[in-house]
Structure 1
Amino acid sequence: MILEPGTASYSAWWRICGQGEQSGWHTEFGGNIPVEILSALTDALLRPAPETTPDIWPALTSAGWTYQHDEHGNETASHPDGILSLRRWTIEPAERFYWTAEAALPTGGGGRNRLWNASLDDRMPPHLLAAFANALASDEPVQRGMYDVPDNHLVTQEQRGPQGEELAAAHETRLKSARAAARKARRLAAPQTQPAVAPSTRNTSVHR
């Protein structure tokens, strides 16, 4: 993972690159992306790929998102509030597809003010794309400082859940779990070598 801070909402802030069986892949995120969405994907990197290929869109449609597709194979899912969307699209001829996610507010007159965006490679392992989509669809409350939220008129904040030292302890527990999972993944990925056979120390006799 690479951190490349950029001040503009259209800049890539986080970049993740990987090597697949056929070719490499990469994905990038704007600086304002909710950390829960980014961490859902990075956590999935530490888990083994499932035996079956997960489907992406049902996680969104079951959460009330609308789904559309066209004759070119482009697919789009949009959150009911119209702010958040996920799109898989291509440029003719359809040699390669791209994934983009965006949160943007309408500004009037047909314009939109982007809050954050993400670009994902269609060559990414499907379970990583599914983890990202599941995080987009989640309606679980998130922890934020009171009034420390951009466009706070769009959210409802309540003083509940863990606070202060409890949050710090939970964060440390999560980091320990992630480090342990990373060590396990490295051990599983390491090539298995056979131990060298030690030369025999048995005495032999030579007959002339």
Structure 2
Amino acid sequence: MLASPDYQHTLVLEPTPDTYGSWWRVSSTPWGGWHASFGGNTPVEILAGFTDALVHTPPADEPDIWPRLRAAGWTYERDDRGNEHARHPDGITTMERRANLTSDHFAWTADVALPTGLGGHQRLWSAYFDDRTPRHLIAGFAAALIDPAPVSRGRYDVPHSHLVTQVERGAQGEQLAAAHDARLKAIRAAARRARRSSPPAARPASAPTTEATRSAARNR
């Protein structure tokens, strides 16, 4: 588990035998906060679109998700209840904001599923966001979802390889390691800038103080 320096957000990874379950969970810890979850097969680049937005300073204006998807060629529908639904041209990937059948509480979901040929679908991965999730975080996820840039994968590490085109090019070996290191440095710098621009938050009472920690260490 990871916790933000102000103890306002947590990131938990709990792998389960079911790769389609909620392996990754991100939430805000104050009472009445928000939460999001991602299945084990969620591509790391798409998960990073959400977590990268989490460590950046929120924009002044709340972004609208649907125009981004429509600009990328997705179809968009809205019904009388306010449910919204967008689908990628390939028919495999969908994103929607829908109310529960028994209430007006909305939630966001993204699904990638292949038709089985028997009228059903085989889910590859999914993501969930409750409606309190800040829109700039969902926008970061959506931007990564529609990003056409190629991603790096091992030749035999791609499930459903008939859906993708693989070519031998791009960074290799030490270049990949250097790019990963540069990315970590950029994210840490962004997190420091966000902390400096945010008002100081009180540490929770449950968090041990430095003096208490030292005292416990001396008594062992």
Q: Distance in 2 between matches of 1:62 and 1:113?
A: 27
Within a 5 Å distance, the mapping from 1:97-136 to structure 2 comes to 97-136=106-145
Corresponding residue for residue 217 of structure 2: none
Corresponding residue for residue 186 of structure 1: 195
The answer to whether the aligner puts 1:45 opposite 2:54 as a matched pair is yes
Give the counterpart of 2:88 among 76, 79, 86.
79
Give the counterpart of 2:22 among 12, 15, 33.
12
Aligned CA-pair RMSD: 1.7
Q: Answer yes or no: is the 8 Å Cα contact 2:20–2:41 preserved in 1.
A: no
Once the two structures are TM-superposed, the CA of residue 162 in structure 1 deviates from its matched residue by: 0.6
Give TM-score scaled by structure 1 length: 0.86
Q: Distance in 1 between matches of 2:98 and 2:48?
A: 24
Q: Distance in 1 between matches of 2:170 and 2:22?
A: 32
Equivalent AA in structure 2 for residue 4 of structure 1: E
**Structure 2 unaligned runs (5+)?**
1-10, 202-220
Q: Distance in 1 between matches of 2:130 and 2:167?
A: 37
Q: Answer yes or no: is the 8 Å Cα contact 1:12–1:31 preserved in 2.
A: yes
% identity of equivalent residues = 56
Q: Distance in 1 between matches of 2:152 and 2:143?
A: 18
Corresponding residue for residue 54 of structure 1: 63
Corresponding residue for residue 174 of structure 1: 183
Give the counterpart of 1:3 among 6, 13, 29.
13
Once the two structures are TM-superposed, the CA of residue 19 in structure 1 deviates from its matched residue by: 4.8
Q: Distance in 2 between matches of 1:143 and 1:99?
A: 28
Q: Distance in 2 between matches of 1:127 and 1:51?
A: 10
Corresponding residue for residue 156 of structure 1: 165
| Further displaced range: 107-116 or 183-192 | 183-192
**The residue matched to 1:172 in structure 2 has which SS?**
helix
Equivalent AA in structure 2 for residue 10 of structure 1: Y
Displaced runs of 4 or more, over 6 A: none
Q: Distance in 2 between matches of 1:152 and 1:119?
A: 26
Equivalent AA in structure 1 for residue 192 of structure 2: R
Give TM-score scaled by structure 2 length: 0.82
Once the two structures are TM-superposed, the CA of residue 124 in structure 1 deviates from its matched residue by: 1.0
Corresponding residue for residue 73 of structure 2: 64
Equivalent AA in structure 2 for residue 101 of structure 1: A
**Structure 1 unaligned runs (5+)?**
193-208
Bigger Cα Rg = 1
